[in-house]
Amino acid sequence: MSSLAIKVENLKKEYITKDSTLQVIKGIDFELEKGEIAMLLGPSGSGKTTLLLMLGCILEPTSGRITLDDEIVYEDRWILKDTRKLRREKLGFIFQAHNLIPFLNVQDNVTLLPQLNGIAEVEYKKKAKEILTYLGIEDKTNYMIGSLSGGQSQRVAIARSLANDPRIILADEPTAALDKERAISVMELLRKLAKEQEVAMIVVTHDDRLLPYFDSVLKIDDGYLTKTKASETKLH
């Protein structure tokens, strides 16, 4: 088994209209190790979300190759026929807006994906309890989402992303709605998860204060990507 969780080769994405062609991603290459947590930076409109959607097998690239967890999923076309199965089994997603379902309690939000995957009730409830305990919110199991604080809601969103034991987590501004203390708490938690469970993570954030919690920095500019060590990166 390779130590790589993500390998991207000459990946491109363009949008073609009747009058023009817009190249958003012009040919990028990078690798991410298992357990590595990377900060994804770039100006507005640079393609950060586009890249996450392609890695998440939601948006089809124009060309290139994507390898996830030792499996080539895209090579100028989708190699993997059932991308939904891949997302259910290997990928976790965390968003700025936690997107939790308000009429379900915490446990039901966390276990929704395992239920859809046909996991036995006794198994998915046990898994939910383990995750919520790990995240320090086991006492909120039966709470409705509306009664939680912002930090608690984001922890539930993280718990939901872990319910399928993902090998890769893609997070789009997961701390943007949180104050400094809660944002740091969430990043400490994500780093802990990455290291203890060997989960590779790509996190979009503009918060310079969070740089110490990352191993590497991926920066998109004018359709191209550079990767540097976080410890050697100066953001300003």
Q: Which residue has the higher pLDDT, 2 or 147?
A: 147
Question: Do residues 95 and 153 touch, judged by C-beta distance below 8 A?
Answer: no
pTM metric for this prediction: 0.87
At 60-90, the pLDDT tens digits run 999 999 999 999 999 999 998 888 888 888 8
Note the pLDDT tens digit of each residue in 41-52. Answer: 988 888 898 999
**Mean pLDDT confidence for 194-210:** 90
pLDDT digits (tens, 9 = 90+) for 123-173: 888 888 888 887 788 899 999 999 988 888 888 888 888 888 889 999 988
Q: Where are the domains of the chain?
A: 37-61+81-232
Name the average pLDDT for the chain.
Answer: 88
Pairwise CA distance, residues 81 & 68, whole Å = 14
* % of the chain at pLDDT higher than 90: 43
pLDDT of residue 1: 64
Residue 81 tokens read as 């026929």
Q: Give the model's pLDDT for residue 154.
A: 82
Coil, strand, or helix at residue 91?
strand
Query: Rounded distance, CA 123 to CA 116, Å?
Result: 13
pLDDT of residue 236: 61
In sequence order, the 6+-apart residues with CB closer than 8 A to the CB of 184 are: 209, 210, 213
Kindly tell me the sign of the dihedral angle through the C-alpha atoms of 41, 47, 52, 54. negative
**Hey, what amino acid is at 50?**
T
Architecture field, domain 37-61+81-232: 3-Layer(aba) Sandwich (3.40)
Q: Which residue has the higher pLDDT, 12 or 179?
A: 12
Q: Identify the pLDDT of residue 81.
A: 82
